[in-house]
């Protein structure tokens, strides 16, 4: 049903950099309880927390308050989001703590184009010479470092350092890079920002236990004081379409750019990232928030 909105991001070996000495299957990480101990719900954006294994070859390397996801490979790593400039330093330290080298990150992916999630892209590029893959709507924001006028939160966030080596994700066009055996599917989920993306991939452990992981964008209908979603019906329609795409996904593990938005701390306290909120429940909660926001605007008009 949503096939046209799903774009296979196929990452195949191209020998872009020398193989890492330690593969993902060999990496060590603190147990999940260490992150629960160090981090609180809705914690500070830049507060350092330990990295941990999510499942298979997927690791959490973000801060306590902002997620960043590492998918390592022998010929280059994928990193989804970087946090702020200060948070990016925590992310790189966490990558090193796992036994990997930030210089081996060859693909940088984005959720939505706000400072708190991608403000550190330029720092990661300087450390790794990686290419950023993002939506067409986010390109100019990342290139200029300034939010789009169409963004409901335009003017609310500080400018970012401009990013180079940008590649747009195009419908039906596979993106190839120097990473082996990982396929990541971007899902268009505009709403929180015009260029917001969610991501889906399978992660398998050494025993062959494979889980579908979805990194679902924030999607909350938050805006500056003078913005009314109801004044932008086309934007609301695209917002609802993205929510529907997310609701239709069959995800075993749900992650979000703000980890508390999907109850990550409770999942880790149970030592089961697949527990708790899934894609359908998350999408339904966002739809309810959007409906409430539109009702509030209607009542105030």
Stated pTM of the model? 0.92
| pLDDT > 60? residue 6 | no
> What are the Cα distances from residue 86, in Å, to 60, 95, 164, 201, 211?
17, 15, 19, 28, 31
pLDDT of the residue at 59: 97
What is the residue-averaged pLDDT of the chain? 89
pLDDT over 90, % of the chain: 79
- Give tens-digit pLDDT for 166-216: 999 865 454 454 445 678 889 999 999 999 999 999 899 989 999 999 999
pLDDT number for residue 253? 98
Domain 3-300 CATH class label = alpha beta
Whether the pLDDT of residue 104 is over 80: the answer is yes
Please name which of 180, 169, 81, 82 lies closest in space to residue 133, comparing C-alpha atoms: 169
Contact yes or no for 216/189 (Cβ under 8 A): yes
pLDDT for residue 9:
52
List the 210-215 sheet strands across, edge first: 9-11, 182-188, 197-204, 210-215, 253-255
Contact criterion met (CB below 8 Å) for 58 and 69? yes
Per-residue confidence at 1, pLDDT binned at 50, 70, 90? very low
For the stretch 22-56, pLDDT in tens is: 554 456 677 899 999 999 999 999 999 999 999 99
At 75, is the pLDDT very low, low, confident or very high (cuts 50, 70, 90)? confident
Instruction: Give me the mean pLDDT over the 152-159 stretch.
Output: 94
What's the mean pLDDT in 245-267? 97
- Domain residue spans of the chain: 3-300
Per-residue pLDDT, 177: 47
């Amino acid at each position: 049903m949503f096939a046209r909105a799903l774009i296979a991001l196929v990452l195949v070996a191209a020998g872009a950099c020398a193989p890492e000495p330690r593969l993902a299957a060999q990496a060590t990480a603190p147990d999940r309880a260490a992150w629960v101990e160090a981090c609180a719900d809705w914690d500070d954006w830049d507060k350092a927390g330990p990295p941990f294994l999510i499942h298979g070859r997927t690791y959490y390397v973000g801060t306590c308050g902002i997620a960043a996801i590492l998918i390592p490979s022998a010929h280059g790593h994928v990193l989804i989001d970087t946090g702020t400039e200060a948070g990016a330093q925590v992310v790189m330290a966490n990558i090193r703590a796992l036994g990997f080298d930030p210089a081996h990150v060859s693909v940088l992916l984005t959720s939505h184009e706000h400072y708190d999630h991608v403000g550190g892209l330029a720092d990661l590029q300087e450390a790794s010479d990686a290419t950023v893959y993002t939506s067409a709507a986010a390109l100019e924001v990342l290139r200029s470092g300034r939010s789009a006028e169409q963004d409901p939160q335009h003017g609310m966030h500080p400018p970012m350092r401009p990013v180079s080596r940008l590649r747009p994700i195009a419908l039906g066009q596979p993106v190839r890079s120097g990473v082996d055996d990982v396929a990541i599917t971007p899902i268009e989920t505009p709403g929180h920002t015009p260029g917001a993306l969610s991501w889906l991939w399978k992660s398998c452990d050494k025993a062959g236990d494979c889980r579908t992981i979805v990194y679902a964008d924030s999607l909350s209908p938050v805006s500056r004081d003078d913005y009314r979603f109801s004044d932008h019906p086309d934007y609301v329609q695209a917002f609802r379409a993205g929510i529907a795409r997310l609701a239709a996904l069959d995800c075993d593990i749900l992650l979000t750019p703000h980890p508390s938005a999907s109850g990550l701390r409770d999942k880790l306290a149970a030592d089961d990232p697949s527990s708790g909120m899934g894609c359908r429940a998350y999408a339904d909660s966002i739809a309810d928030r959007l409906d409430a926001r539109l009702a509030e605007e209607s009542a105030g008009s």
